[in-house]
Amino acid sequence: MSLLTPSPTQSPDAHTHSGETMVPDASRAERTRSYAVADFPLPNGREEEWRFTPIDRLGSLLRDEPTGACLDWAESLPAGVTLTTMSVEEWQESGAPKPADRAAAVAAAHSGGVAVLTVPAEAEIEEPIRVSLRGNDGRVVHGHRLIEVGHHAKATIVLQHAGSAAYSEVLSIVAGDGADLTVVTLQEWDDDAIHLGQHDVVVGRDASVRHIAVTLGGSIVRLNTNATYAGPGGAFEALGVYFADAGQHLEHRLFVDHEAPHCTSNVEYKGALQGDGARTVWVGDVLIRASAEGTDTYELNRNLLLTDGARADSVPNLEIETGEIVGAGHAAATGRFDDEQLFYLMARGIPEAEARRLVVRGFFASVIRRIGVAEISDHLMKVIEEELRASDAALVAAAEGTA
């Protein structure tokens, strides 16, 4: 609620969250960005950007000290794509966006170096570039990466996270002019893992960047995705799918900062929750600055509560400083599983567990279809299927309990 500047073109009626009173930022643009950890005091949980996160469960992840630990890497790099390193200083000089919270500042300060994945200009890489990251021992790991895609290059990059770690990362994604880039980040951590990520996307002039977050595993996953535009004509699409089970906290925060004119952004996140204490947070901030004429933006978040005891927060914020836009809209909704849908399917002979799976798959279908990376869509459907299958017994029991 705090960030909305009402404007004649926008009605602030789609908010689904009525949070406790906060000291609001005057504008989303005013949040601190800095390389210095000291600029970000340890959060107490009342800060706007931390108020949903269970900071008491973060352990030493926000501590300002190196650990020397890293994740295991495996990558498949098609010809032309390179993986190199640069120093943190070089990274700072590259103009990549700065850390925006303490976790990111700590990660950037103590990563020891930046892994740089480069797709050269005008390269058209057909097959997905895969980077798989695995945590082994639950230790605190600081990750720092830069994806540089040259002008008019085309690529799909899939980052897979698995295993056990307490991981904070900064990922800068810089797409050159006219580039066509899809970055998929898969969070399939073990149950005890923690992942705090800051992904900054810089969309080049007339470039098209898709950021796809799929979060299924981990104790706490908090992913902040920020998009800015380096020039006019850029298109940014952020898609997300998450599925929270009992005890999981999955948080996705987006901030699309429209400064360049004639850019578009489209955000669509869908999540399902099941089990006691399953918790998701979605915050979608969109800022349309005075200079961003001709902006067209839409953001959507939907949550499906499959059982009692789960909670989804959904906070869309639109801040509009110019009336000269093509469109700006948002929609957010959280709903329970619809028993009438279940009845309809069962009345056609379909057993309850299968009917539930159909409804949940249907719920995710629109966003999964848009992912457009076949291996990810297929994988996602399979995993969702497994999630539902594994919990059928629990779901049926819960349904009977409330009938």
Partner 1 sequence: MSDNTIHTLDIRDLHVSVEGEDGTAREILSGVTLTVRSGETHAIMGPNGSGKSTLAYAIAGHPKYTVTSGSITLDGEDVLAMGVDERARAGLFLAMQYPVEIPGVTVSNFLRTAKTAVDGEAPKLRTWVKEVNSAMAALRMDPAFAQRGVNEGFSGGEKKRHEILQLELLQPKIAVLDETDSGLDVDALKIVSEGVNRVRESSNLGVLLITHYTRILRYIKPDFVHVFIDGRIAEQGGPELADQLEDEGYDRFLTPTA
Of residues 36, 324, 344, 378, which one binds partner 1 by CB under 8 A?
344
Nearer to partner 1, 328 or 355 (CB): 355
What tokens does 399 get?
């349904």
Nearer to partner 1, 76 or 402 (CB): 402
Residues 11-50 that bind partner 1 (CB under 8 A): none
Choose the binding region for partner 1 from 151-159, 214-222, 261-269, 342-350 (rule: CB under 8 A). 342-350
Of residues 300, 345, 376, 398, which one binds partner 1 by CB under 8 A?
345
Residue 362, interface with partner 1 (CB under 8 A)? Answer: yes
Please give the angle made by the CA atoms of 147, 73 and 157, to the nearest 5 degrees: 35
- Check: CB of residue 36 under 8 Å from CB of residue 42: no
Nearer to partner 1, 164 or 303 (CB): 303
Residue 104, interface with partner 1 (CB under 8 A)? Answer: no
Of residues 106, 109, 292, 355, which one binds partner 1 by CB under 8 A?
355
- Check: CB of residue 240 under 8 Å from CB of residue 186: no
Nearer to partner 1, 177 or 392 (CB): 392
Residue 383, interface with partner 1 (CB under 8 A)? Answer: no
Of residues 339, 378, 385, 386, which one binds partner 1 by CB under 8 A?
339
Q: How far is the CB of 364 from partner 1 (least distance, A)?
A: 7
Sign of CA dihedral 106, 111, 112, 113: negative
DSSP state of 21: P
Q: In a 3-state reduction of DSSP, which class is residue 164?
A: coil
What tokens does 234 get?
């850029």
Written as one string, the DSSP assignment of 350-401 is --HHHHHHHHHHHHHHHHHHHH--HHHHHHHHHHHHHHHHHTHHHHHHHHHH
Residue 392, interface with partner 1 (CB under 8 A)? Answer: no
How many residues touch partner 1 under the rule CB under 8 A: the total is 25
The C-alpha atoms of residue 37 and residue 42 are separated, in whole angstroms, by 9
- Binding positions for partner 1, rule: CB under 8 A: 338-341, 343-352, 354-355, 358-359, 361-366, 403
